[in-house]
Amino acid sequence: MFYLTLRKETPLIFRVSVPIASILLTILFGIFIFSVLGYDSGKALYHFFISPLSRIDRIADLFVKACPLMIVGTGLVLCFRANIWNIGAEGQLIMGAVFAGGLALSFPDTNSVWLLPAMAVLSFIGGGLWAFLPAILKVRLRTNEILVSLMLTYVASLFLDWLVRGPWRSPTSFGFPLTNYYPDAGLISKINFPGIGTIGQLHWGVFISILVCLLCWFMMQKTVFGFQVKLVGDSHKAFRYSGFNESKTTVMLFIISGGLAGLAGMIEVSANIGQLQPNISFGYGFTAIIVAFLARLNPAAVILAGLLIALIEMGGDSAQIALAIPKVVTGVFKGILLFLLLAGETLTKYQINVKPRQRSVPND
């Protein structure tokens, strides 16, 4: 019988070698899969891992792709570090975009510089309120936060769909479920470098996402609230003896996590779409769960983990376009890569032990 035990200490060489071994195993699996299906495995792997890094504008787009993953992933790290399981970040992202979009659509002719900051605040409030629901049900009624937060995701998605097909639909959308475009004051601009101009789709939201990761890392390492988060995650009994209020901490973490997801929704729409539509997220709220665990629940490491997942996503799209590889095949390859990376992280933190099977002694 196999069972896992937490390692007391992980050697540095092991922490470095396990992720490398996971990537090498993924490459071997990829060569086998693409060769069996009749595709050039060398070209396929090139488009997965090299093509997204081949030009400066593609690297910029990589950061743009990682932007919502970093913000949402950071919020989830805070919850997961405290053993609080917020699985509804996708719905919180949608509600944040809805709150911000409602404000932008209410002032179609404004040029106020305060519109964008107000949208950011409202998006945080919208995502935080949507996360407050499973939090208060958990602390008051002891409901399962996983199920409640997940189900609320579908409610948020259907609510957005109703808005863009009904009261918020643009009269000039030719019947398509789209709202009016945001005013220019409600759009996040691309970064214009002196003497260079814009680079790909790089926008100011990327810097906000990196700043969020670093601020949350500072909070976890240097503040009393960060100590509370780590303490409640390590030992509920010690947390209670310390005098902190577990219910308040739980609700606060849910609100912060949901607020950050809502902020990510506002940035994604304002920077890349410019209007509300039924699909404003490509599963960022769910993908960010993988980002959080790949980062080993470290907010600063979320930056690298988000870029890695964005690289996988962009590589899969590049392989589909360049080699006409079906989406199912690229999805299988991405799934194998993520599985091996997460398995490697598990082996880094835990040790596999074998418990010998006890033989039954026959009765005399």
Percent of the chain beyond pLDDT 90?
55
Q: pLDDT digits over 239-281, tens only?
A: 777 777 888 999 999 999 999 999 999 999 999 999 999 999 8
Does residue 315 contact residue 337 with C-beta atoms inside 8 Å? no
Higher pLDDT, 21 or 360: 21
Mean pLDDT of the chain: 89
Percent of the chain beyond pLDDT 70?
96
* Residue 57 main-chain phi, psi, to 5 deg: -70, -30
Residues contacting residue 41 through CB under 8 Å, at least 6 positions apart: 30, 31, 34, 35
How far are the Cα atoms of 143, 281, 323 from residue 266, in angstroms, in the given order? 29, 11, 34
According to DSSP, the residues that pair with 197 across neighbouring strands are 193
Q: Residue 236: pLDDT above 70?
A: no
Residue with tokens 């409602």: 102
Q: Residue 104: pLDDT above 80?
A: yes
What confidence score (pLDDT) does residue 357 get? 63
Higher pLDDT, 99 or 13: 99
Higher pLDDT, 61 or 5: 61
Q: What b/e sequence results for 145-183 when a residue is b if at least 16 CB atoms lie within 10 Å of its CB, and e otherwise?
A: beebbbebbeebbeebeebbeeebbbeeeeeebbbbbbb
Q: Residue 364: pLDDT above 60?
A: no
Q: Residue 347: pLDDT above 80?
A: no
Question: Which pair of structure tokens corresponds to residue 32?
Answer: 């086998």
What confidence score (pLDDT) does residue 265 get? 96
Banded pLDDT at 358 (limits 50, 70, 90) = low
Residue 352, H or E segment:
strand 350-354
Q: Residue 214: pLDDT above 70?
A: yes
Question: Which pair of structure tokens corresponds to residue 216?
Answer: 């949350």
78-82, 244-248, 356-360 — which is least confidently predicted? 356-360
Q: What share of the chain is helix, strand, coil (3-state, %, to 5)?
A: 70, 5, 25
Residues contacting residue 211 through CB under 8 Å, at least 6 positions apart: none
User: In angstroms, rounded to a whole number, what is the distance separating the alpha carbons of residues 38 and 23?
Assistant: 22
Does residue 41 contact residue 34 with C-beta atoms inside 8 Å? yes
User: In angstroms, rounded to a whole number, what is the distance separating the alpha carbons of residues 314 and 320?
Assistant: 10
Average pLDDT over residues 90-98: 97
- For 359, how many CA atoms within 13 A lie in the half-sphere containing its CB? 2
Q: Residue 186: pLDDT above 90?
A: yes
User: In angstroms, rounded to a whole number, what is the distance separating the alpha carbons of residues 100 and 94?
Assistant: 10
Cα 189–183–169 angle (5° rounding)?
Answer: 120
User: In angstroms, rounded to a whole number, what is the distance separating the alpha carbons of residues 87 and 155?
Assistant: 14
User: In angstroms, rounded to a whole number, what is the distance separating the alpha carbons of residues 252 and 329?
Assistant: 41
Average pLDDT over residues 329-339: 79
User: In angstroms, rounded to a whole number, what is the distance separating the alpha carbons of residues 122 and 119?
Assistant: 5
Tell me whether strands 350-354 and 2-6 are parallel, antiparallel or unpaired. Answer: antiparallel
What confidence score (pLDDT) does residue 168 get? 94
Banded pLDDT at 363 (limits 50, 70, 90) = low
58-72, 205-219, 282-296 — which is least confidently predicted? 282-296
DSSP, collapsed to helix, strand or coil, labels residue 3 as: strand
Kindly report the three-state secondary structure assignment for every residue of 122-183.
Answer: HHHHHHHHHHHHHHHHHHHHCCCHHHHHHHHHHHHHHHHHHHHHCCCCCCCCCCCCCCCCCC
What confidence score (pLDDT) does residue 296 get? 83
Q: pLDDT digits over 122-151, tens only?
A: 999 999 999 999 999 999 999 999 999 999
What confidence score (pLDDT) does residue 1 get? 67
Q: pLDDT digits over 18-30, tens only?
A: 778 887 888 898 8
Residue with tokens 């996360």: 131
